[in-house]
Structure 1
Amino acid sequence: MYLLHLLFVPLHKAALKGDWEAAKELLIKDPSLVKDSLTEGGETALHISAVEGHSFFVHNLLKLMQDSDIEILNKKGTTALCFAAAAGNLNIVKLMVHRNPDLPTIRGPDGVTPLYMAAFLGHTHVADYLFPLSDFQSWTVEDQITLLTTTIDSQLYGLAMTIVDQWKSLAVVEDSNGETALQVLARKPLVFCRSSNTSQGLCGRIASAILLRYTKVRTHDIRAPCDAYTLLDCLWNIVICQEEDVETTRVVTKNTTKLFFIAAESGNEEFLVELIRRYPDFLYKVNESKQSIFHIAVLHRYVQVFNLLYELRGAKDLMATYVDKDGNNMLHLAARLAPQNQLNLIPGAALQMQREVLWYKEVEKIVQPSYRNKKNSSGKTPWELFVSEHEELMKQGEKMMKQTAKSCMLVTILIATVVFTAAFTVPGGYDNANGTPILKNHRLFVVFPISEAVATLSSLTSMLMFLSILTSRYSGNDFLNTLPFWMVVGVAALFVSIVAMMVAFCTCLLFYQHGFGAVTVLLVMFASVPIIFIVLKYPLLVTILRCTYGCKALFRSNNRLLS
């Protein structure tokens, strides 16, 4: 029926645009429009203007409304204040609450409150403002824990701290997903800002250090990532105190053990470090599959979690002896194909295969020699499992390497042909009397034979490297060092040959005595060819070098557990 009312559409447009003058004229004609639904969803002009953030429009509209009009729900049972809170407009929220203080406590059929909407969408200031007005103490425990876990999910750690400070029992209560507040926090590795920089490059570590130093002098922000540590301390201390109650000891112990493995499966190494410092016995716990956190780290390819193993010294050998319920030791787990999200961090199937081999070799150093040929419940040794799991990735890596080698080899052959031919055709020709080059006394002449020799030698070297790639066996071990080394040398030699060829060509142009302007233009054009090559191939070279040689320091102790 709303479509039949000729004034609904103009008022709807005015509310969307925040055009109060147009809306005012319509409301003078029909004052009842102030509480009429303008949309099929039952939204009034107040709903629409609030979500669009038109403060002036809302301010004037509220003057024309009764308290009951402001409390109107749409068809989903949502007030206009919920819309304003969802939009994160604190000014409009304050206008509505000042006009009707009961608004923050009004719930829809699904029990959604304005405070929950603000917390769910991460609007810090709106949530902080609404919390003391929402009668939180009268909420059910289910609603309270839902709000607490929602604030943690949205990184509103200041509000979460306020809740657990006043309602400490919520720290051990499970939400509708069966998770406690600590378990939700354990799934958020990115909010812990003190994470190790070992996997970053030099520039990355310097930038992180500068950023960390800068953030230390900033004023306190309740959404700052480092507040996750404060919340962790608070929740953990409450959980420890809860263990004094005999009735809850079993539940708390179960939840804290589960918490440990949730953090491991999420790759939250900083969270794990904090827990182990507080309760070192966690290191020896296993999950339902009889896997330790280090087995989980290998399975999910979490380098920083796995590196904690190097800090255990003697206990490291003990951990490596654990066998899960399927008969898999740690090397079997390293033989499994990495999760796709971890593979996607490395560009190209060949380099992904290289990282997989690197993981296998690293774990192989840790496990007992007898475990390297031990079969699991499926009757497979670690290497047999590795080959079967990585068969498709190995084919893709081989295809990638061969395609790159073929395309580069074509260019290398052309360069070798050109420079070899040009070596016998020197600029200016030969003296018919004695067969020596006519321009041999020219000061730039010596550049030509040297550049020709360098171009020939580098192009032949590049050709040999690419030929080696094309004829390789492509076994698993070849992807670790041999194939990347050949590719790096081949591409680097190809670049040198291009530069040398351009130097030889430009040297010939400099011998011309006339048309200096045209020669200069040609020199600039041909000198740009190596630059274009660098732009095109530099990412490939850097990626291969980083993955091949930068990962040498990937597995090492960072001395964090006992620091």
Structure 2
Amino acid sequence: MAESETASIQERISMFDEKMISAQRAARSENWREFKKIFEVDRMRLLDPLDLFGNTAIHIATHSDNPNLLQELLEMLPRQERWRAMRMGNCVNNTLLHEIIFCTTVDMAGVVFKLEKELQEEVESYDPLVEVRNDSGESPLFRAAKLGKLKMLKYMANHVVGDIRSHFVRFDRCSILHACILGQFFDVAIWLLRLDGSLAQHKDMDGFTCLQLLANMPLIFRSQTQSSMGAVKNLVYYLLPDEGYEIDDDYDEKGEEEEESVVFRLRTDLESGPLDEAKQPAFSRINYAIWKILAKEFNGIGHIWQKKKQHKLAECLAELLVQKDFSWQISFHSNFQPLIVLPILSSKLDRIKEIQLMKEKRQLVEIAHSRISKPLLKESISKASHFKNYTPLLMAAGSGIVEIVEKIIDMNPEAISHVSQDEHNVLHMAVKHRQLKIFNLIKRNSAFKSLIHRITEEGRTLLHQVARMEFYKEQRLPGVAFQLQDELRWYERVRRIIPPHYLMHCDKDGLTANDVLEMEHQDMHKEAKCWIKETAQSCSTVAVLVATVVFAAAYTIPGGSENGRPVFFGSRVFLFFTVTDVVALVSSLASVVMFLSILTSPFELWDFYKSLPRKLNLGFALLFFSLVCTMLAFSATVLLTIQLENTEWTSVLFYCAGFLPVAIFAWMQFPLYKTVQKLVRRLYNGVKQVVANYIDQLFQKT
């Protein structure tokens, strides 16, 4: 046993001899001259494995990106061995042409094609190198597309002798377009789609088309990344030029690439419309050049620009795929829409017990399903995936991709009426996944009223869908209480649009939407109670402390008093101190009252809709205002006490020092600021709508 272990260790150590190790060092240090000299002595060693992946020295030479080196190494071998070297595969059967796709210059592939043409006369029957597939069934053409090498892909495509479509699918039925989309190489995907439009209809082994795949990738679209970028990044994103997103046109033997690139740019300039050469072309070029310099100097700008380019290309690809998508035409409209199912009359306490029993029953069913045999489990999973295999329209609605939903509805207005096999429409998907942008988009459509009456196969109305937390994702909100408030807002938003009698409708479990809401949000309700209690207690302690400080400051007057009259009574700074101190005391005591009113509230579920969050926000606002006034009173006190001659710069200095804690307090982003931001946005939208209605009325009168 020990001897065999020793032998295996020696085998592992002696895998590479000194010559091969020297060649490895030369390749790692990119000393290609030394690399070539090593194999000039023993040329047949060029066919031996040089690394752990089975790559030969010929494969490794592709890393040099030097066509002359590759040609010289191949020409060292005899003609018959040269043919073998070009076709030799590594551990996954990647040939020389598979590895060349990483090169930046297409001349590397040109060397191989040239030598192959010279040697093909000596071989009776052979498959061209560009047709050879690796263990995954990928040709060099497929591999170049999968890794986003558009320039090399175009070059190899021009050297395909037979039908190029034979390169578009590998052994696992994944198409070349699927691979590009998964790798997020959208410029390559656009080029391929123009080459062969039938790729848009191809389905992979999971039954997904390319548009379905794209509909499950929300982060590559602008509509899903705008909120997470921040104000400064969004401003830079907006100011970046809208042109310059054409696909790479560095190489095309036919000389037609320049025209195709211009067409791409005209079609994909979705924000600013088609480019017009007469509209300040010089300004556009200067603007583009300036931003290009800034992007090179600042990595942040370059990253944002790259993201904008990705968004533009993804949007253009989505538009091309939508033009070839007709899956929405297959709609499963049920001939029988059930009437509402009324709940059994019972007391509130009995109903709560029923809900609890229903929840426990559901948990037991889930445990039982997890213990079933593997064949039955596979069958249930495949059945579930069959019913969940929605069209791109419904998938995009669930993912919140406004661009895809908008393009499908614009190109095919009747697509909005599409219903899935389990009786879900686009509005159900938007509500179930809490996609507000999609909800508002559909709400503006004239078909909105016809969508709200749909009841799913499981007997769920829109209100049941929004009451469930099956697809809930935690929002970027500062606390659990505000997350619960957001859920209740969603429920109320949907309740306003559905028919009133749907409030009494029961699903297949015998639960109304309100029952589902209470049952599903029970844990969140408990967490929200604890969070808002702890927050109110902590903030009330701070407010009492501030009130104590400013109350004591009112009796310890700066500079003291003479015969009951303050020494600095006639000073404007003293008047400022008095006002800020009184305001700080009043606002801090008012915030204490607000926090105490929270602690004495009943904490019912619907108290978190308006009452409790409003009190908490008002308490935060008063506490923040009291801290600001306290800092101002402190700065005024310091100025009165020191009495420096040059008061201009000292006043500024002390006020800045006094505002430092306030700035830190504001930087923590309390819920107040989020609420104020939303309130301002609502007021703006309301005023905008009123002005628009007023203008419409004026036009109608005229």
The normalised TM-score by structure 1 is 0.81
Instruction: Kindly provide the CA deviation profile for residues 335-388 of structure 1, in whole angstroms up to 9, marking residues without a partner as x.
Output: 011635x32444532322222111111100111111112211111111110111
Q: Could you tell me how far apart the structure 2 residues matched to 1:109 and 1:154 are?
A: 20
Q: Which amino acid aligns with 2:53?
A: G
Whole-Å Cα distance in 1 between the matches of residues 417 and 509 of structure 2?
26
Structure 2 counterpart of 1:334, from 442, 466, 479: 466
Match of 1:250 in 2: none
SS in 1 for 2:89: coil
| Matched AA of 2:522 | E
* Distance across 1 between alignment mates of 2:230 and 2:654: 39
- Match for residue 271 of structure 1 among 401, 404, 409: 404
Deviation at 1:238, TM superposition (A): 5.5
Whole-angstrom CA distance in 2 between matches of 1:203 and 1:481: 32
| 3-state SS of 2:49 partner | coil
Deviation at 1:390, TM superposition (A): 1.3
Aligned AA (2:524): L
Q: Encode CA deviations 1:136-157: one digit per residue, 9 max, x unaligned.
A: 5361774497113323444555
Query: Which of 39, 43, 63 does residue 72 from structure 2 map onto?
Result: 63
Residues 53 and 90 in structure 2, CA contact (< 8 A), matched pair in contact too: yes
Cα deviation, residue 328, structure 1: 0.7
Match of 2:164 in 1: 137
* Percent identity of equivalent pairs: 28
One-letter code aligned to 1:337? M
Distance of 1:9 and 1:465 partners within structure 2:
76
Residues 164 and 170 in structure 1, CA contact (< 8 A), matched pair in contact too: yes
Contact 1:70 1:80 in 2 (8 A): yes
Unpaired segments of 5 or more residues in structure 2?
Answer: 1-10, 75-81, 117-127, 249-263, 265-308, 330-386, 690-702
Q: Quick one: which of 101, 104, 109 aligns to 1:89? A: 104
CA, structure 1 residues 258+308, in 2 after alignment: closer, same or farther (shift >3 Å)?
same
2-side partners of 1:202 and 1:502: how far apart?
28
**Does 1:110 find its partner at 2:156?**
no
> How far apart, in 2, do the equivalents of 1:387 and 1:507 lie?
53
Matched, 1:383 2:514: yes
Q: Residue 276 of structure 1 aligns to a residue in which SS? A: helix
Give the CA deviation at 1:38: 2.0
One of 127, 130, 151 as aligned partner of 1:125 = 151
Among 56, 77, 90, the alignment partner of 1:74 is: 90
- Higher RCO (Cα < 8 Å, 6 or more apart): 1
Tell me the residue number matched to 1:454.
583
Residue 22 of structure 2: which of 10, 15, 40 is its match? 10
So what's the TM-score if we normalise by structure 2?
0.67
1:532 aligns with 2:532: no
**Equivalence for 2:35:** 23
Post-superposition Cα deviations, 1:377-420, rounded to whole Å, max 9, x if no partner, equal: 11111111011111222223333333333333322221111111
- Quick one: structure 1 residues 297 and 120, their matched pair in 2 at CA, closer, same or farther if it must change by over 3 Å? same
In structure 2, how many angstroms separate the alpha carbons of the residues matched to 1:74 and 1:298? 51
Distance 2:19 2:635 in 1: 77
Post-superposition shift, 1:285?
Answer: 2.5
Which of 251, 256, 262 does residue 395 from structure 2 map onto?
Answer: 262
Q: Secondary structure at the match of 2:138?
A: coil
Judge conservation of contact 1:298–1:333 (CA < 8 Å) in 2.
Answer: yes
CA distance in 2, matches of 1:217, 1:165: 20
Partner of 1:280: 413
- The corresponding residue for 1:246 is none
- Counterpart for residue 49 of structure 2: 37
Counterpart of 1:309, as a letter, is I
What is the DSSP-based 3-state SS (H/G/I as helix, E as strand, rest coil) of the residue aligned with 1:272? helix
The equivalent of 2:176 in structure 1 is 147
Change (3 A) 1:228 1:392: same
The Cα of 1:428 is off from its aligned counterpart by 2.3
Alignment of 1:294-305 (within 5 A): 294-305=427-438
Q: C-alpha distance in 2, partners of 1:186/1:161?
A: 16
User: Which residue does 2:594 correspond to in 1?
Assistant: 465
Judge conservation of contact 2:459–2:508 (CA < 8 Å) in 1: yes
Task: Calculate the aligned-residue CA RMSD, in Å.
Answer: 4.0
Counterpart pick for 2:494 among 346, 352, 363: 363
AA aligned opposite 2:481: A
Does the 8 A contact of 1:55 with 1:91 survive in 2? no
Whether the 8 Å CA contact 1:191–1:226 is kept in 2: the answer is no
Aligned: 1:352 with 2:518: no
Q: 1:345 and 1:124 mapped to 2: Cα distance?
A: 38
Deviations 1:279-324 (A, max 9, x none): 33322221121111111111111222222332344x4333222111
> In 1, distance between residues paired with 2:247 and 2:185?
13
Question: Bigger shift: 133-142 or 270-279?
Answer: 133-142
C-alpha distance in 1 between matches for 2:245 and 2:397? 31
Q: Distance in 2 between matches of 1:516 and 1:98?
A: 87
Q: Deviations over 1:254-280 (max 9, x none)?
A: 9x9834333333333332333233333
